[in-house]
Structure 1
């Protein structure tokens, strides 16, 4: 079974790497291979097998405890450095959630209460489903981020991320610098791509984001006629759609690349595919402290894009957990 999932994953990667199902297929491949290893372990000497089973059971618990501690620490760092916005609470909340699931399992074990046991089973199933999707997403995001962009593009789209006091912050500067590097590579090969800076004006921004981005590029000696401004978008989907409209007006057959930060690359790729944009997404480096919370935020946003599937799976898992708990 693992081989079939692996073949399906490889085929999906070659056909269109901008699909979330590729991440799920990768996760299923790894799970099947792991189950195969566990099956082979049953052939070990009984004493060795017992130690192996103990390690297999203890490792997830230890991993969750370490992960929870890391997320809690990162959550505190995010609040201290980035402020008390709801988006900055995600890693902190994820750490608390990990500890709550473990606490509920321990409570169910010692209380012998049917309701507590049922809640523990349901929470474990839901947490397992989310953990599987998150690990699959994380692994595939690494795979996608290592795919090299094909040369020969006509446009390089740079997605906005917000200004700070009207200035380009380090997060956005990293995107622009990566785009400039791609632009210079194309120029050295004899091509002349256009840089499309995409971002509208937020309520707390004195100028449209794309204008500040253009100024950042001009300061790096990019010719003004090589910069195209898209100044209406407020979201990633609008960044992609509005930029595509500008590109189609100039060259309907042109290929492009989209530049954002590495944590945002895969979700931007999904948006590009939905919009019918012919282009791969490249990621720029992100500060280490910012990456965990931002990655969780991207994962939540991707899950929100598949409400029917996730609601169906959650309903089935809850029903199964309740049935097991009642028995």
Structure 2
């Protein structure tokens, strides 16, 4: 059972890290490494497995990922076309399309290399594939842990429900994306009151953009009041311009109102894990919950969130990618 020792150790580290704080990106990486180590352990023992189980393992480890990459590329391209048709051609809306085309590009490069028989090109391709594999591994870690983090339930009463703002329609109206957050916050508020708890303060957070007539927090509060929430149960944070400011300024308001406060922060599901990481840095005492998002919007939004997390850890990530690039160039020169 020595083959499974690394997976067991990594799983223990993962559990301890989650227990310490659920809002760390290292939890996602530890989860991914646990599954990789488990797969390697199973492969090391494949000769001792029943033939049916061994065949299933080989298919699961090699064939499924290979077919999955092609299927994913097709899905991302199709989703990118849908995004452009429904949301326009901004860079943020093109992310799923660009990701799908990038996957096809790497697959095409691998095919050309295999057909050419060039050793030099093979080293260059291996370098590109390794960098792509590293980024893909981190993305899958992010995706898997973000899904697990999204399963968090509110336990016990909270003192505040913070709802992060987003852009307004026409300068003063709440769009569907933001309404989803407000609806989720209102559900938490109503559920706590229904079980006999004290009404939490609803804290919409968002300042006034250059193209907006009112602060986002004011429009959010008006939406909540129109939905039946008493105005006295709402407090505004109307100075923030970014998510980081949403959280830090809201934390200051909550600390002033109740130093030992407990809260939940509400945003959309694609943004929940990254917002949780920022909440940790801002010293917010609470977890982040996600509200539903239109299915077609989710892939590009998730890729954008991952790209932001990747760059937040750019020191390590760029060092790894740079090392792989340098290794590939050195090997290419040696072969040449």
The answer to whether TM tops 0.5 is yes
Contact 2:131–2:324 (CA<8 Å) still a contact in 1? yes
Partner of 2:16: 11
Contact 2:28–2:144 (CA<8 Å) still a contact in 1? yes
Is it true that 1:64 corresponds to 2:78 in the alignment? Answer: no
Distance (Å, rounded) in 1 between the aligned partners of 2:209 and 2:30: 38
Counting only pairs closer than 5 Å after superposition, residues 1-327 of structure 1 correspond to structure 2 as 1-43=6-48, 56-165=61-170, 166-188=172-194, 189-325=196-332, 326-327=334-335
Deviation of residue 226 (structure 1)?
Answer: 1.0
Distance 1:245 1:48, change over 3 A: closer
Distance 1:277 1:45, change over 3 A: closer
Deviation of residue 192 (structure 1)?
Answer: 2.1
Deviation of residue 56 (structure 1)?
Answer: 4.5
Tell me, what secondary structure is at the counterpart of 1:230? coil
Distance (Å, rounded) in 2 between the aligned partners of 1:153 and 1:50: 50
Tell me, what secondary structure is at the counterpart of 1:26? helix
Tell me, what secondary structure is at the counterpart of 2:295? coil
Tell me, what secondary structure is at the counterpart of 1:229? coil
- Residues 152-191 of structure 1 show CA distances to partners (whole Å, capped at 9, x for unaligned) of 2111100012112231111111110110010112222231
Q: CA RMSD in A?
A: 2.1
Q: Which runs of 5+ in 1 are unaligned?
A: none
Distance 1:218 1:111, change over 3 A: same
Distance (Å, rounded) in 2 between the aligned partners of 1:46 and 1:324: 39
Q: Which runs of 5+ in 2 are unaligned?
A: 1-5
Contact 2:157–2:197 (CA<8 Å) still a contact in 1? no
Deviation of residue 47 (structure 1)?
Answer: 12
Distance (Å, rounded) in 2 between the aligned partners of 1:108 and 1:226: 64
Contact 1:104–1:116 (CA<8 Å) still a contact in 2? no
Tell me, what secondary structure is at the counterpart of 1:84? coil
- Residues 45-94 of structure 1 show CA distances to partners (whole Å, capped at 9, x for unaligned) of 99997997577544333211110110001001111111111111110110
Partner of 2:3: none
Deviation of residue 122 (structure 1)?
Answer: 1.2
Q: Which moved more, 1:45-54 or 1:299-308?
A: 45-54
The count of aligned residue pairs is 327
Q: Which moved more, 1:182-191 or 1:83-92?
A: 182-191
Per the normalisation by structure 2, the TM-score is: 0.92
- Residues 223-282 of structure 1 show CA distances to partners (whole Å, capped at 9, x for unaligned) of 111111111212211110111111122112111110011111000100010011100111
